[in-house]
Copies of this chain bind each other. A is one copy, B any other.
Amino acid sequence: MRADFPRDRIFFHGNNKSEDELLAASAEGVGRIVVDNLDEITLLARVAAKREARTPVLLRVGPGVDAHTHAHLLTGAEDTKFGLDIASGAAEAGVRAVLERPKLELLGFHAHIGSQIRDIDPYREAVERLFVFAAEMRGKTGVVAREMSPGGGFGVRYTMDDPYTRPADMAREVARTMAEAARRHGFADPLPDLTIEPGRSIIAPAGVALYRVGSVKHGARTYVAVDGGMADNIRPTAYGAKYTAVLASRVSGDDVTDVAVAGKYCETGDILIQRIALPLPRVGEVIAVPASGAYQLSMASNYNMAPRPAVVVVADGHARLVRKRESYADVLAAEMG
């Protein structure tokens, strides 16, 4: 809202949307509520009753496809907190529950099958299952899906070892897969609208994290300690996520040596990069970590009471501060001292 993004283009997701959140979304005319569960349908119907217009919804379903285990596609019901599972009949119950609410308008279905996907196959399988389900619901209830959202999760290249998938190629493949499945299942005239969610693949490579070196310690490994770490990027600690780095002040030229890039927080596991070949950094130099735009500051904490960093947008020779560096006063603002 603050950024004045067009409300009708917003999709509101979540497995536990509160009444306050749904009221706010309704008041603002948010484009789609992606309904997750039966309790939410009950709640949303109550909220929607207060509006003149019908509230447009997609139903999040579980197609039983996991991007990372699609060899095991046929195991049936999926075990996830998200959505209503197709195989068990829960998704059908969801469709019927939405259709029973006159102020809710079921426009189609959403599924999200994972993250860091580099391969079209799991999408193809998920899209196929979405259309099989949509055709079944059309037959049983008469509802015709006009929108389909097979989610996002397109892979991002964090290190040079990661393959590079061009977003345009992935989008084209998903679109073709959708169109083929739609025609196969009698949804060709008109084709349903396709929604994709390429957030991480856009924002991750757009961000570069800059850290200043505070100490260099030689021992079992060479630890280069920087003025950030798990508070601004929990992903290496929490998920074993891999990043690469360059020494911003001396990108090339010098002999390189293997170092660990350690954060400054009070945990042994606070290591941003376990092993990276760099010209041996000196105290005061800056290390740049590419592909730092997604799931980092959005998950940043004030661990050890550390203020969170600033964000600067750089383009065409200009730099603009878009997020202020926090102060200690900011960090303590909520404390009733």
On A, residues with C-beta under 8 Å from B are 2-3, 13-18, 36-40, 62, 77-82, 84-85, 88, 90, 214-221, 223, 225-227, 231, 234, 237-239, 260, 262-264, 266, 268, 270-271, 283, 298-305, 308, 320-326, 330, 332-337
Contacts and interface: CB of A to CB of B under 8 A. Distances in A.
Given A81-B225, A324-B334, 15 more contacts: A2-B332, A16-B225, A16-B227, A16-B262, A18-B227, A39-B214, A78-B220, A79-B220, A81-B223, A81-B270, A82-B268, A85-B220, A88-B220, A298-B302, A299-B303
A95 to B, nearest CB: 16
Nearest to A75: B220
Contact of A336 (B13, B16, B323): B323
A270 B299 CA distance: 13
Nearest to A14: B264
A283 B39 contact: yes
A263 B80 CA distance: 12
B335 A215 contact: no
Q: Which of A16, A223, A337 has the most CB of B within 10 A?
A: A16
Contact of A90 (B16, B219, B263): B219
Contacts of A271: 81
Nearest to A216: B39
A78 B223 CA distance: 12
B85 A18 contact: no
A308 B334 contact: yes
Contacts of A218: 90
B90 A15 contact: no
Contacts of A80: 268
A215 B321 contact: no
B215 A16 contact: yes
A71 B227 CA distance: 34
A335 B227 CA distance: 22
Contact of A219 (B85, B221, B268, B321): B85
A321 B336 contact: yes
